[in-house]
Homo-oligomer: A and B are copies of this chain.
Amino acid sequence: MIPNWLMQRAKLTPDASALVTGQGHWSYRELYEQSLEIAQQLHHLGVQSNSRVALLSQSNDQTVLFIHACWLLSVEVVCLNNRLTEQELRWQVRDSEAKLVLVDDQIQTPPELDDIKSLFYSAVRESDPKEFIILEQWNEDQTLSIMYTSGTTGVPKGVRQTAGNHTSSALASALNLGLTDKDSWLCMMPLFHISGLSIVIRSVIYGMEMRLYEKFDAKEAASQIIAGHVTAMSVVALTLDQIVRVMEATDSKAHPLFRTMLVGGGPVPLDYLDRATACGLPILQTYGMTETCSQTTTLGKADAVRKVGSAGKPLFFNQIAIKDTVQPGEVGEVLIKGPHVTPGYIGSQSTRNALTEDGWLATGDAGYLDEEGYLFIVDRRADLIISGGENIYPAEIENVLLAHPAIREAGVCGKEDTEWGQVPVAFLVGSVNEDELLDFCSERLARYKLPKEFRFVEQLPRNASNKLMRFELKKWL
C-alpha cells in the first residue's frame, strides 16, 4: 500500500515549500487545500474515482493543481502532448476512453474534439464542490498516469504508470542522488512528459520544492543555478549546452548547493561535459523512458569522464540485462526489470504484453554492459529520432506519408541538426508536389514530427525479407 501522496505529505510537512512559479508559491498545505477543492469540483461535475480523464495542459501551477486533484480523487490522468495535431489528440483521447478532457485555459488554440467532452480549467473552477472520501492509501498497481509513446509499429501506445512505478522510481532516485532539506528541483520540462511529471512526484514524496517554468529559458535557468535557488535540474544535451553558453558568456559558476544536472535523452557529448564541469555543473547522465517512469540507469558525476558515453548503472531496485548474451561487451537488446517498469498498455494496445514472462521490459534499444556493469547504449530503439528532447518514431511518420495516394514507399531517418540535435528526413518513392505533401502531413502530425526534407528516390534500401533498412538511409544523407 502507498499513501495518497499529497494527502500524506500535507499531514507531515504542511508548511514546507511545495511549488514556486511565476504566479506565486504554495506550501504543501496550500497545494493540498487548493487541489482538494478542484477534486471536489470535478467530483461535482461527475468525475468518479478510478475513472480516466485526459489533460491538455501547459506546464504551469494550475496544471500541477489539476494533476494532484485527479490523484486525490484516485483518477487516472492521460497526459496529452500539447504539440500534437487535432487528429493525433482525438485518436489518443478515443483510444484512452477518457470520459473528459481538461483543457488548460493557457492553450492558445484549443483543438476541435468533436463529440469528446471537454472543459476548460476555468469552467471546472466555477463549479460547486462536492465532498468525497479520499482513499488514504493506493494499491501499488493503481494507475495514476498514462502517457502515449510510439514504437516500431508507429502506433501510439498508452503506457500505464502506477502508484508503485512512480513511488519506486522516486525512491530509487533519492538513493542515487541523495536528499537534503534544502533541495529544490528546477523544472523546465513539459509536465506531459515523464521528465517533467516525475519532478512533480519526487516533490510530493520527498517534501521537496519544485520551481516550475512554462518553457525552457536558458538565461533564467542559469540565473537560478548561480543564485543557489535550486539544487537540481533535468535537461537534455541541447538545453544543457544553452545553459552552459549563458554561464560561459557571463563567466559564472554554479552555486555550491547545486548538485544534480540530470541529463536524459541520449548521451552528452564529451565537449559539453568538459564545459559544464568547468561551470561547476555536476552532470549525471541518465537513461530512461516512459515505460520506466523516468530514470532506470544513471551515470554518477564521479564516473562521468572515466565512463564517458555510458548511461551508467541501474538504480537500486532495478536490473539490467542484455538479451541473449553471456559476456560483458556483447551487444544485444537492453532488457529492464524492476518495480518502476509499467505493467502494460491501455486501449487498442491493451492486449499487447509489455513484459516477457520473466518480467523483463524489452526496450528495443541495442547496448552492452561493460566488465564493471556500466550500460552503454549503441543504437536507440526503432531508429528513434530525438529532436529537441522529443522522441520521434520514423514508423509513425512513414505511416502518414504512405496514407497519401501518390506515395508508394516511404522511409524516414534522423539527420544531425545543430539546433535540434536531430530532425526527421523522408525518402520517398512516388511523385507529388512537396507543398501539398507538407500540408497533408501537417494535419496529421505534430509540427516537430514534420520531415524537414523530402527526397524522392527510385527505390528504398531493403533487406532480403524486403524490410526497410533505415540505417542505410542515414548513409544517403
Contact A175 B206 (CB under 8 A): yes
Contacting pair B180 A3 (CB below 8 A):
no
Given A3-B319, A339-B1, also A11-B175 (CB < 8 A): no
Q: Number of A residues whose C-beta is below 8 Å from B?
A: 29
Contact with B along A1-31 (1 / 0, CB 8 A): 1110000110110000000000000000000
A316 and B205 contacting across the interface, CB-CB below 8 Å: yes
Contact B339 A11 (CB under 8 A): no
A136 interface contact, C-beta 8 A: yes
> Which partner residue on chain B sits nearest A314 by CB separation?
B12
Q: Give me 18 other A-B pairs in contact (C-beta within 8 A), A174-B179, A175-B205 excluded.
A: A1-B338, A1-B359, A3-B316, A3-B317, A11-B313, A11-B373, A12-B316, A136-B319, A171-B175, A174-B174, A174-B175, A175-B206, A175-B207, A178-B179, A178-B180, A178-B181, A179-B179, A179-B180
Chain B residues with CB under 8 Å of A178's CB are 178-181
Show 22 A/B contacts (Cβ-Cβ < 8 Å), sorted by A: A1-B338, A1-B339, A1-B359, A3-B316, A3-B317, A3-B319, A9-B316, A11-B373, A12-B313, A12-B314, A12-B316, A136-B319, A137-B319, A171-B171, A171-B175, A174-B174, A174-B175, A174-B179, A178-B179, A179-B179, A179-B180, A180-B180
The answer for the CA separation of A309 and B3 in the assembled complex, in Å, is 27
The SS class assigned to the A binding surface is mixed
Determine the distance from Cα of A58 to Cα of B181 in the docked complex, in whole angstroms. Answer: 36
Closest-CB distance, A268 to chain B (whole angstroms) = 21
Docked CA distance A338–B338 (Å): 21
For the complex, what is the distance from the CA of A397 to the CA of B361, rounded to whole Å?
A: 56
Instruction: Indicate the member of A175, A314, A373 with the most B CB atoms within 10 Å.
Output: A175
Q: A2–B317 contact, CB under 8 A?
A: yes
**Which of B1, B2, B179, B339 is in CB contact (< 8 Å) with A175?**
B179
What 0/1 pattern do residues 106 to 144 of A give for CB contact below 8 A with B? 000000000000000000000000000000110000000
Contacts of A171 in B (CB 8 A): 171, 174-175
A348-402: which have CB < 8 Å to B? 359, 373
Interface centre among A11, A12, A313 (most CB of B within 10 A): A12
Chain B contacts for A179, CB-based, 8 A: 174-175, 178-180
A1-B339, A180-B180 as given contacts; A316 in contact with B8, CB under 8 Å:
yes
Please measure, in the bound complex, the distance between the C-alpha atom of A338 and the C-alpha atom of B3, giving whole angstroms: 9
* Complex interface bits, A167-203 against B, C-beta within 8 A gives 1, otherwise 0: 0000100110011110000000000000000000000
Cβ contacts A229-266/B at 8 Å (1 or 0 each): 00000000000000000000000000000000000000
Please name the residue on chain B nearest to A177 by beta carbon: B179
Chain B: minimal CB distance from A296 (Å) = 13
List A290-348 residues whose CB lies under 8 Å from chain B: 313-314, 316-317, 319, 337-339
Task: Write out the residue numbers on chain B whose beta carbons fall within 8 Å of the beta carbon of A314.
Answer: 11-12
Q: Complex Cα distance A380/B313, Å?
A: 46
Instruction: List chain B residues, Cβ under 8 A from A316.
Output: 3, 8-9, 12, 205
CA distance A339 to B163 in the complex (A): 15
Contacts of A175 in B (CB 8 A): 171, 174, 179, 205-207
